[in-house]
């Protein structure tokens, strides 16, 4: 338990709530959760399912129609053939990551994880008695690890690599040739690769991609939380290489029994054209917000060397304003009423020099935040 760190931003969120209770107006740019309500077709599907009145356990790997719908989605979106049997439905990407790592990690195994990165990953590795090892990434490699770095960091005890594309907190995509290079290094050493594609649908200037196009041997994580806007429904999936299927199924049975049943039936509607129209409109809205936020932050003086191509985050260089982004985040909250997440929550690499802004609020509020930040930092 000593190795499991809390989310530092939660203390900041508590402070923001306290300020709001005092009547202060806070612009929330710290939350990694879409601000849109659940799409109407999803709510209708859930209501229809509930009408029938029987909410029971499902198969540990999920209901067949949902696994088939996801399989069809991979075929339709990416031209990739993923049999439904290899798609295991989970309680969010969080459940998917636990199944994948539970199946892959033995005590003492080392796993390479980009830093900055999604903070829970190193804790999931630790949970299964593995040893997370950071690969420091920066703007020079679009905040993603390179094949050369993976080769350099690989030790005798290294067993695998975890990646995310688009990434949290940087929003950057792993270039396809780099992914292929990393897979080559991993495969050549008999290791495993997990690619977290939770932000897959939220890609702006290029085509969304999947690592499944590269190989059936890669574990791919996904979720209904972000593009499909279903955070609280707790639903995701993992695409499992054939040889590991039985082990993942055993783990799913033991750890969770099954993913939430109502959510599974509701998610069937996520692939309807009515729902997809809503998600695409929201994606376009996110793109506009991104551009407003980046232009505003750059104008104020934050460093944004790479325009993030996906997710809903801007990982901005903040050292011009303060040496410690944790202290800066408190100053921005207290003085400007703007909440953002300090770099320390995502690892150690230049963490004190970075702060993450999430564009999970509307353009008017983003513009308000920009005006307040400008007044706080430049006047
Ligand atoms: C990169 C990444 N992976 C996984 C998760 C977990 O998401 P969920 O369990 O809601 O699907 C998150 C949540 O923010 C994330 O950013």
Handedness of CA 87, 92, 95, 100 (dihedral sign): positive
- My answer on whether 70 and 101 are in the same domain is yes
Average predicted confidence (pLDDT) for the chain: 97
* CA nearest ligand 1 atom 4, residue: 93
- Residue with tokens 């049997």, as numbered in its chain: 85
Domain extent at residue 192: 55-271
Among 7, 9, 10, 94, the mutation site with the greatest number of ligand 1 atoms within 8 A of its Cβ is: 94
Expressed in angstroms and rounded, the spacing between residue 10 Cα and the centre of ligand 1 is 16
- Average pLDDT of the segment spanning 231-253: 98
Q: Which of 237, 233, 239 is nearest to 261 (CA)?
A: 233
- My answer on whether 247 and 132 are in the same domain is yes
pLDDT exceeding 90 applies to what percent of the chain?
97
Q: What is the pLDDT of residue 9?
A: 86
Expressed in angstroms and rounded, the spacing between residue 95 Cα and the centre of ligand 1 is 10
Q: What is the pLDDT of residue 323?
A: 97
CA 328-121-157 angle, 5° bins: 125
* CA nearest ligand 1 atom 7, residue: 93
Helical H runs in the chain? 8-21, 40-52, 64-78, 92-104, 120-127, 147-153, 176-188, 245-255, 261-267, 273-300, 325-331, 363-378
Expressed in angstroms and rounded, the spacing between residue 108 Cα and the centre of ligand 1 is 25
Q: What is the tens place of the pLDDT at every residue in 178-237? A: 999 999 999 999 999 999 999 999 999 999 999 999 999 999 999 999 999 999 999 999
- Residue with tokens 């750059």, as numbered in its chain: 298
Q: Give a yes or no: residue 178 inside a domain.
A: yes
pLDDT exceeding 70 applies to what percent of the chain?
100
Ligand 1 atom at shortest distance from the alpha carbon of 97: 4
* CA nearest ligand 1 atom 14, residue: 32
Asked if residues 131 and 162 have their Cβ atoms less than 8 Å apart, the reply is: no
Asked if residues 134 and 115 have their Cβ atoms less than 8 Å apart, the reply is: yes
Name the domain boundary from 252, 271, 290: 271
User: In the structure encoding, which two tokens stand for residue 191, read together?
Assistant: 């290791």
User: In the structure encoding, which two tokens stand for residue 22, read together?
Assistant: 């005092």
**CATH, residue 199:** 3.40.640.10
Name the domain boundary from 248, 271, 294: 271
Ligand 1 atom at shortest distance from the alpha carbon of 236: 11
Expressed in angstroms and rounded, the spacing between residue 231 Cα and the centre of ligand 1 is 9
CA distances, 26 to each of 17, 19, 270 (Å): 9, 8, 32
Is residue 378 over pLDDT 90?
yes
How many residues comprise the chain?
Answer: 379
Backbone angles phi, psi at 192, to 5 degrees: -115, 150
- Bridge-based pairing state of the strands 27-28 and 338-339: parallel
Half-sphere exposure of 239 (CA within 13 A, CB side): 28
Q: Give a yes or no: residue 46 inside a domain.
A: no
Ligand 1 atom at shortest distance from the alpha carbon of 234: 10
Q: Give a yes or no: residue 195 inside a domain.
A: yes
Expressed in angstroms and rounded, the spacing between residue 226 Cα and the centre of ligand 1 is 8
Ligand 1 atom at shortest distance from the alpha carbon of 235: 11
- My answer on whether 214 and 332 are in the same domain is no
pTM of the model: 0.97
**CATH, residue 30:** 3.90.1150.10
User: In the structure encoding, which two tokens stand for residue 23, read together?
Assistant: 């009547």
Is residue 5 over pLDDT 90?
no
Q: Give a yes or no: residue 2 inside a domain.
A: no
Among 171, 223, 224, 263, the mutation site with the greatest number of ligand 1 atoms within 8 A of its Cβ is: 223
Asked if residues 340 and 355 have their Cβ atoms less than 8 Å apart, the reply is: yes
- My answer on whether 140 and 231 are in the same domain is yes
| 3-state secondary structure (DSSP) of residue 54 | coil
Q: What is the tens place of the pLDDT at every residue in 117-133? A: 999 999 999 999 999 99
- My answer on whether 233 and 312 are in the same domain is no
Expressed in angstroms and rounded, the spacing between residue 147 Cα and the centre of ligand 1 is 24
CA distances, 75 to each of 16, 63, 128, 230 (Å): 44, 19, 33, 22
Among 92, 121, 122, 230, the mutation site with the greatest number of ligand 1 atoms within 8 A of its Cβ is: 92
Q: What is the pLDDT of residue 106?
A: 98
User: In the structure encoding, which two tokens stand for residue 312, read together?
Assistant: 């809903």
Name the domain boundary from 222, 250, 271: 271
Q: Give a yes or no: residue 285 inside a domain.
A: yes
Q: Which of 9, 68, 287, 281 is nearest to 166 (CA)?
A: 287
Residues touching ligand 1 (Cβ under 6 Å) are 32, 92-94, 118, 164, 168, 196, 198, 223, 225, 231, 236
Complete DSSP assignment for 144-160: S--HHHHHHH--TTEEE
Q: What is the pLDDT of residue 260?
A: 98
Q: Which of 316, 291, 328, 312 is nearest to 361 (CA)?
A: 312
CA–CA distance, 379 with 377 (Å, rounded to integer) = 6
- My answer on whether 85 and 201 are in the same domain is yes
Expressed in angstroms and rounded, the spacing between residue 64 Cα and the centre of ligand 1 is 24
- My answer on whether 201 and 226 are in the same domain is yes
CA–CA distance, 295 with 297 (Å, rounded to integer) = 6
Is residue 57 over pLDDT 90?
yes
Q: Give a yes or no: residue 315 inside a domain.
A: yes
Please indicate whether residue 210 or residue 5 has the higher confidence score (pLDDT).
Answer: 210
Expressed in angstroms and rounded, the spacing between residue 376 Cα and the centre of ligand 1 is 32
- Average pLDDT of the segment spanning 76-89: 98
Q: Give a yes or no: residue 49 inside a domain.
A: no
Is residue 6 over pLDDT 90?
no
Is residue 7 over pLDDT 90?
no
- Average pLDDT of the segment spanning 245-265: 98
Q: What is the pLDDT of residue 10?
A: 86
Is residue 360 over pLDDT 90?
yes
CA–CA distance, 125 with 46 (Å, rounded to integer) = 34
Is residue 173 over pLDDT 90?
yes
Expressed in angstroms and rounded, the spacing between residue 51 Cα and the centre of ligand 1 is 30
Is residue 278 over pLDDT 90?
yes
Domain count, the chain: 2
- My answer on whether 73 and 158 are in the same domain is yes
Q: What is the pLDDT of residue 60?
A: 98
CA distances, 233 to each of 60, 225, 230, 340 (Å): 17, 8, 5, 25
Widest CA span of the chain, in angstroms?
61
- My answer on whether 222 and 286 are in the same domain is no
- How sure is the predictor about 367, in pLDDT bands with cuts at 50, 70 and 90? very high
- Average pLDDT of the segment spanning 155-167: 98
* CA nearest ligand 1 atom 13, residue: 32
CA–CA distance, 33 with 358 (Å, rounded to integer) = 9
- My answer on whether 198 and 285 are in the same domain is no
User: In the structure encoding, which two tokens stand for residue 287, read together?
Assistant: 């793109």
- My answer on whether 258 and 345 are in the same domain is no
Q: What is the tens place of the pLDDT at every residue in 311-347? A: 999 999 999 999 999 999 999 999 999 999 999 999 9
- My answer on whether 244 and 109 are in the same domain is yes
Q: Give a yes or no: residue 367 inside a domain.
A: yes
């Amino acid at each position: 338990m000593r190795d499991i760190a809390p989310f530092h931003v939660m203390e900041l969120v508590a402070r923001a709530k306290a300020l709001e209770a005092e009547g202060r107006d806070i612009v929330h740019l710290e939350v990694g959760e879409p601000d849109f309500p659940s799409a109407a077709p999803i709510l209708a599907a859930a209501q229809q399912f509930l009408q029938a009145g029987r909410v029971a356990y499902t198969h540990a790997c999920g209901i067949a129609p949902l696994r088939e719908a996801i399989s069809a989605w991979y075929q339709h979106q990416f031209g990739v053939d993923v049999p439904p049997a290899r798609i295991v439905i989970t309680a969010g990407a969080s459940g998917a990551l636990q199944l994948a790592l539970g199946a892959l990690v033995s005590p003492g195994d080392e796993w390479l994880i980009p830093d900055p990165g999604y903070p829970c990953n190193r804790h999931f590795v630790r949970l299964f008695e593995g040893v997370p090892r950071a690969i420091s990434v920066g703007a020079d490699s679009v905040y993603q690890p390179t094949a050369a770095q993976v080769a350099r960091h690989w030790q005798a005890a290294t067993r695998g690599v975890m990646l995310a594309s688009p990434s949290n907190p940087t929003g950057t995509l792993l270039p396809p040739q780099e992914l292929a290079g990393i897979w080559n290094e991993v495969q050549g050493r008999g290791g495993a690769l997990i690619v977290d594609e939770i932000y897959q649908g939220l890609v702006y200037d290029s085509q969304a991609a999947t690592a499944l196009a590269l190989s059936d041997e890669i574990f791919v994580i996904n979720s209904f939380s972000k593009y499909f806007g279903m955070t609280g429904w707790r639903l995701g999936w993992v695409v499992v290489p054939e040889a590991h299927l039985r082990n993942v199924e055993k783990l799913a049975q033991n750890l969770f029994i099954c993913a939430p049943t109502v959510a599974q039936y509701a998610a069937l509607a996520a692939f309807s054209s009515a729902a997809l129209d809503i998600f695409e409109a929201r994606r376009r809205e996110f793109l506009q917000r991104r551009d407003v936020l980046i232009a505003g932050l750059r104008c104020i003086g934050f460093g944004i060397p790479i325009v993030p191509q996906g997710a809903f985050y801007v990982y901005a260089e903040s050292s011009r304003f303060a040496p410690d982004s944790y202290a800066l985040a408190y100053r921005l909250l207290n003085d400007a009423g703007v909440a953002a997440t300090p770099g320390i929550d995502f690892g150690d690499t230049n963490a004190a020099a970075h702060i993450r802004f999430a564009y999970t609020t509307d353009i008017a509020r983003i513009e308000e935040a920009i005006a307040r930040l400008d007044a706080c930092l430049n006047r």
